[in-house]
Every structure is written in structure tokens, then in C-alpha cells.
Amino acid sequence: MQIVRDVPALREAVAALRAEYGTVALVPTMGALHAGHVALVEEGRIRAGAVVASIFVNPTQFGPNEDLDAYPRREAADARVLESAGCRLLWAPDVAIMYPAGFATSIGVTGVTAGLDGAARPGHFDGVATVVAKLFNQVRPDVALFGEKDYQQLAVIRRMAADLDFGIDVIGVPTQRDDDGLALSSRNAYLTPEDRAAARALPRALGEAAAAIGKGEPVEAALAAAHRRLAEAGFDPIDYVSLCDAVTLEPIATLDREARLLAAARIGGARLIDNLAVNPPGDRGTV
């Protein structure tokens, strides 16, 4: 697997991959890779001839009190993971390459960023949209893959890619989970064993709420029950537990369309997010 760190070398390497393999998939990451990222690479190999992954810890999507400095960085180990998964090229720029002196452009996506993490983390999705737009322009992939665990991020990128005519197929890959149900996340490394045991309440609370809503129970009551369960498990603060339209992410009070149940809450040293699909009774895939 080749590793490149500047844009001219990247363009040359991607052109060589296209000449040999025809199509290119992009898997953007911030490193600290786990089985969820491997699933993205594996799906990329199905969707395209060659997979390019990026590792870049993007400072513009971190708030002033968030974990930019503490975010795990382990490029050598991550490169081994990518190579074993069948990735052909690693794009690993530094901050000076991505945001050179004089950089003054930001991309904002409205609508799908209005609530949830958009409200809890002001400016976060501007940073996400800007860096992903740069990655799309740098690599120029045919397809790009993102995990459904970061469901609002996926919605933002889909909206941006459509609105700006990137011509890239943005694919969501189902959330990968540990045996205890907790969604795989780089931030799980911040959890103590005790916090990790308590954190299992998050997927369980969402599963119970999704099942209740799917059976026709009032949405407000199901969300309140999930909120209580998270509080009892020690999550604090609980930023949101919300049922939203699966496309627009507008909050909904009645399950009359494809929906997503989303939550974000902090336990110990980690802010965790998770989500589940919830569909009206009778629809394929009903939880």
C-alpha cells in the first residue's frame, strides 16, 4: 500500500489506480481505526476497483472544549490495518497541506444540521463539510463510504454532494458493534472498564425505544423512557434522544415514514452517539 502526503503525489497515484483498476472508492477517516473502518474498506472493494483511504484529524470540526489534542493518533498501526483490509493507497496529509496559509473558505449545509449534533456542537458540520469537500476534490473518487453510526454526518455529506454536483455515490455502511451491542467508535478507548459496562445502556435504551415506537406506542413516552434509562446508567449530560425523519432529520412525533432514532450522551471521558432505523409497522425492515 502506497502512502502519499502531498496533493501532486496523490493525483499521480490515483491516476495510476484508475488506469489499473478502473474505478476508485474513498474511505475518509480520522485514524484510530477499528473493525468499523475495515467494513468501510471491504464495502469499497465491492463497489470499486481500488480503495483509497485518508487519515486526517480535522481541527475545524472540533470545538474549543473538545478532544482535538487528545484524539488518538497511530498512523503506523492504522496503515497496517488498511493494508490488511485491501486498501491500495493511504492519503495522509498534515494540517499545512489541508489548510495552507491564507485558507479562507468554509462550506455550510443548512437543514440537516439544524438539530442534534448541529445544535450540540456549533460549527462542527461546517468543518466536516469543508474537509470532505476537499477530500472529494483531491481524490475525485467514484464512490465514498461513511459509517451509519455518524448518521447526521452521513446526511450532511449526502446533501452537500448532491447540492454541489460532485457526481460521487455516497454510501452508508451499517454500524458495526461489539458483542455487547456498543457501537464501535474511536472514542470508546476513553472509557474505563466501569464506564464501558455502563455504556451498554445506550444501545439497549435505543433498542427498547425503537421496539416500542415500532409497536405503536407514543413517541414522546418512548423517548422519555430512553432518556431515563440513560440517566440511570450514569450518562450526563444527555444531549438528545430524538426520533427524526430519516432523510431530512426533522424531529417527528408520529411514526408515519422512515425514521431514525438518534441519541448522544456523555459517560466518563467519552461522548457517545448511536442510532437505529425505525420504520412504520408493515414496512420492510421495521424494528
Q: What is the pLDDT of residue 64?
A: 86
- Collect all residues with Cβ–Cβ distance below 8 Å to 28 and sequence separation of at least 6: 53, 54, 56, 131, 132, 135, 144, 146
Secondary structure percentages of the chain, helix, strand, coil, to 5: 40, 20, 40
Share of the chain above pLDDT 90, in %: 92
Cβ(47)–Cβ(25) below 8 Å: yes
Domains of the chain: 2-173 (3.40.50.620), 186-274 (3.30.1300.10)
- 251-271 pLDDT per residue, tens: 999 999 999 999 999 999 899
- 65-101 pLDDT per residue, tens: 888 988 889 999 999 999 999 999 999 999 999 999 9
Q: What is the pLDDT of residue 65?
A: 80
Q: What is the pLDDT of residue 70?
A: 82
What mean pLDDT comes out for the span 170-195? Answer: 95
Cβ(213)–Cβ(225) below 8 Å: no
Average pLDDT of the chain? 95
What mean pLDDT comes out for the span 179-199? Answer: 94
Share of the chain above pLDDT 70, in %: 98
What mean pLDDT comes out for the span 36-42? Answer: 97
Q: Global pTM?
A: 0.94
According to DSSP H, which parts of 140-192 are helical? 151-163
- 117-164 pLDDT per residue, tens: 999 999 999 999 999 999 999 999 999 999 999 999 999 999 999 999
**Res 220 pLDDT > 90:** yes
- Per annotation, catalytic residue among 34, 37, 124, 227: 37
37 belongs to the catalytic site: yes
Q: What is the pLDDT of residue 283?
A: 64
What mean pLDDT comes out for the span 180-206? Answer: 95
- 222-257 pLDDT per residue, tens: 999 999 999 999 999 999 999 999 999 999 999 999
CA distance 235 to 15: 48
